Chain A
């Protein structure tokens, strides 16, 4: 059963990834991205990271991709990009080499290491919690005790990002031409 789930999810992920890279229409590329994100969410569920799967779908697929689509529509860049011509010489073969290199090295590292040989764990420390929603409980326990400082900083980061972007992207009326 797990094999079947793996194969289907992997297919979704790879199909979406290749779609993002190869589709010339940006809206199509965004849709492919959504496919990838859903596949990743499925894999999260397989690994008993239920909370993260939900968050992935809500935040990533639901907010970030929608934001992408908003910008695409706002700027009107939904016209297709011409993919047949590559202005920088040798960029595509070199990109292929780099991509293959990165993945190859990582795969080599994975294969030669001793981790990941055994069966999958459950993602839950069975001895501490007994209830069905143990994943959220355990996650919350760690975030709000050991990592509360990082949590607070991250929320400040979000605030700063939003304020900064608003300031940056508005049309300045008094300075003259928008910048």
Chain B
């Protein structure tokens, strides 16, 4: 079964090609069914590979399938090869699993859209790129997928491109990602120049064996982190993610919650030996950036009114948690949180999509309220997702968040504190969202006449294609924590599973104060989560305290406008300067050569006087010179 690893990305690629060729013929809903079937069968193959890997002993869970030799250029040998090991299969499992659920959801959500087939075309292409990213055996195949998901993100965000804001958001996402991609490319160059290969096996073996100097390893890891910041929306490159909510909700669920934004976390985990071999301060930098981003985004989410924007900032915040974990050396915790986050964030996004669909594309939460009776399944699943993200046991999010906080406490108390405050805010704003949408008073009739409503537009429950994924994801959000329970060594399945990949670089907290008192920290985490929920209920449901939603938070600390001002003002001046330099110096040099040649030939042209006798003179001169040379050389 392991040799069929290539089928995993091939199936979505086949779906892409089929829809590309026959999309118009297939139409709705057959194009959607085809895309979903391709992704689902890819999931089946992944499960098969997973079971195959499980049946082998831990040391042998590393299988490479080489498709063909891609770049045999001089000393650079890059193969198109796929790697099936615990980390990549874990990622592939939830990419294809959640991907197929979202494909099914999208059949219902995109019903009636004129570009129905095109949507699934891009979705399948995205799944293919993401699978290439996670299954890649070397940095270049991963980069292929990296760029592919960036491009698909652009396509899908600006899917309704006739809307100016959507088109702009797509461009913003692509350009910001590109800034991060520069970091990844520099990392690849550094890795190649120091190790001589781009394959993970080679680089990680060199790093683990101490063959990479700490300086070089730090450089590589730092550049990879820059790339990860772009893709995973950390400060300062997070600005594209909130705007990316312009895309259809399935896109937000798939790309901007579960899969693409986790590629940064995946990359750093994959290259964990390199991270481990670099200077310790780099880990602190990564953890600090993650923690600060988490807090920053959480504060903004408190004041947002768009149902999807809250979730977008929440994603940024949770990604910050994952980077906090990576920076503290807790790779298992980061992957654990990635998996559980994929479950409940996808659930929350799909639930919000169901709400939007039921509210006839109304996204402002202030116009919702008391929806749980009219949309019961959506309501219950959304509430389960809310409990998971708020960190209430025994839902999945609690276990993973607690792991991270434990590792952060063992590493740096201040960052732990920031994490705790962020967890409090997370519980607060998520409760706020649930109350505003599903409880309280119904506001959807308030401005009905003004908004051109016709007939009875009472919100309704969504069709089965949209509700089924919600139910499945809700189940996973409840049970997902079981893969890594902290009770004993035997229940830490994920840690044992990922041991071959990250075991060497995982920071050990055994014997620290945190490890000894982890139950105390666990209780503190629960208390924080519950207090956040209670505070939010007090403010928004019971009305006991005044609502605090400062404008500056709603404006996202005016960060976006600051970036625009810097890039548009001094930035543009610098760009114009560079462009002027290019036109004047570089082009000038090239054109100058041309001008000089013309001037020289203009001088030479005077020799062509047209007079035969002058030509005869020159011929004679040449003959004399030649004869003299012969004479002096003794030839004559």
Q: Do A and B touch directly, given a CB cutoff of 8 Å in the complex?
A: yes
Is A172 among interface residues, defined by CB-CB distance under 8 A? no
Given A108-B631, A109-B631, A109-B636, A101-B624 contact (CB < 8 Å): yes
- Could you tell me which residues of chain B, from 585 to 636, have a CB within 8 Å of some CB in chain A? 611, 613-614, 617, 620-621, 623-624, 627-628, 630-631, 636
The answer to whether A102 and B623 have CB atoms under 8 Å apart is: yes
Return the contact of A88 from the options B614, B631, B636 (Cβ within 8 A): B614
Return the contact of B611 from the options A88, A101, A108, A109 (Cβ within 8 A): A88
> Could you tell me the distance between the alpha carbons of A108 and B631 in the complex, rounded to whole angstroms?
8
Is A142 among interface residues, defined by CB-CB distance under 8 A? no
A95: chain B residues at CB < 8 Å are 617, 620
> Could you tell me the distance between the alpha carbons of A102 and B628 in the complex, rounded to whole angstroms?
9
Shortest CB distance A91–B (Å)? 6
- Could you tell me which residues of chain A, from 69 to 105, have a CB within 8 Å of some CB in chain B? 88, 91, 94-95, 98-99, 101-102, 105
> Could you tell me the distance between the alpha carbons of A142 and B631 in the complex, rounded to whole angstroms?
32
| A-B CB contacts (within 8 Å), total count | 32
> Could you tell me the distance between the alpha carbons of A101 and B631 in the complex, rounded to whole angstroms?
12
Return the contact of A102 from the options B611, B614, B620, B636 (Cβ within 8 A): B620
The answer to whether A88 and B628 have CB atoms under 8 Å apart is: no
Is A64 among interface residues, defined by CB-CB distance under 8 A? no
Is A59 among interface residues, defined by CB-CB distance under 8 A? no
The answer to whether A105 and B624 have CB atoms under 8 Å apart is: yes
A105: chain B residues at CB < 8 Å are 624, 627-628, 631, 636
> Could you tell me the distance between the alpha carbons of A102 and B627 in the complex, rounded to whole angstroms?
8
Is A106 among interface residues, defined by CB-CB distance under 8 A? yes
> Could you tell me the distance between the alpha carbons of A91 and B621 in the complex, rounded to whole angstroms?
12
Return the contact of A91 from the options B613, B627, B630, B636 (Cβ within 8 A): B613
Given A88-B611, A102-B623, A94-B617 contact (CB < 8 Å): yes
The answer to whether B620 and A98 have CB atoms under 8 Å apart is: yes
Given A98-B621, A109-B636, A88-B613 contact (CB < 8 Å): yes
Interface of B is mostly: helix
Shortest CB distance B430–A (Å)? 97
B232-257 CB contact bits vs A (8 Å, 1 = yes)? 00000000000000000000000000
Interface size class of A (residues with CB under 8 A): 10 to 19
Shortest CB distance B94–A (Å)? 87
Shortest CB distance B73–A (Å)? 56
The answer to whether A106 and B627 have CB atoms under 8 Å apart is: yes
> Could you tell me the distance between the alpha carbons of A105 and B624 in the complex, rounded to whole angstroms?
8
> Could you tell me the distance between the alpha carbons of A101 and B629 in the complex, rounded to whole angstroms?
12
Shortest CB distance B442–A (Å)? 100
The answer to whether A91 and B624 have CB atoms under 8 Å apart is: no
B623: chain A residues at CB < 8 Å are 102
Residue of A nearest to B619 (CB): A98
The answer to whether A102 and B631 have CB atoms under 8 Å apart is: no
> Could you tell me the distance between the alpha carbons of A73 and B583 in the complex, rounded to whole angstroms?
67
B617: chain A residues at CB < 8 Å are 91, 94-95, 98
> Could you tell me the distance between the alpha carbons of A67 and B627 in the complex, rounded to whole angstroms?
34
B620: chain A residues at CB < 8 Å are 95, 98-99, 102
> Could you tell me the distance between the alpha carbons of A91 and B620 in the complex, rounded to whole angstroms?
12
> Could you tell me the distance between the alpha carbons of A101 and B624 in the complex, rounded to whole angstroms?
6
Most buried by B among A94, A95, A102, A105: A105
Shortest CB distance A26–B (Å)? 17
A109: chain B residues at CB < 8 Å are 627, 630-631, 636
B628: chain A residues at CB < 8 Å are 101, 105
Residue of B nearest to A102 (CB): B624
Residue of B nearest to A95 (CB): B617
> Could you tell me the distance between the alpha carbons of A91 and B611 in the complex, rounded to whole angstroms?
12
25 pairs, CB–CB < 8 Å, chain A vs chain B: A88-B611, A88-B613, A88-B614, A91-B613, A91-B614, A91-B617, A95-B617, A98-B617, A98-B620, A98-B621, A98-B624, A99-B620, A101-B624, A101-B628, A102-B620, A102-B624, A105-B624, A105-B627, A105-B631, A105-B636, A108-B631, A109-B627, A109-B630, A109-B631, A109-B636
Query: Which residues of chain B have a CB within 8 Å of any CB of chain A?
Result: 611, 613-614, 617, 620-621, 623-624, 627-628, 630-631, 636
12 more CB-based (< 8 A) A-B contacts, given A101-B624, A106-B627, A109-B631: A88-B613, A88-B614, A91-B613, A91-B617, A95-B620, A98-B617, A98-B620, A98-B624, A99-B620, A102-B627, A105-B631, A105-B636
Query: Which residues of chain A have a CB within 8 Å of any CB of chain B?
Result: 88, 91, 94-95, 98-99, 101-102, 105-106, 108-109, 113
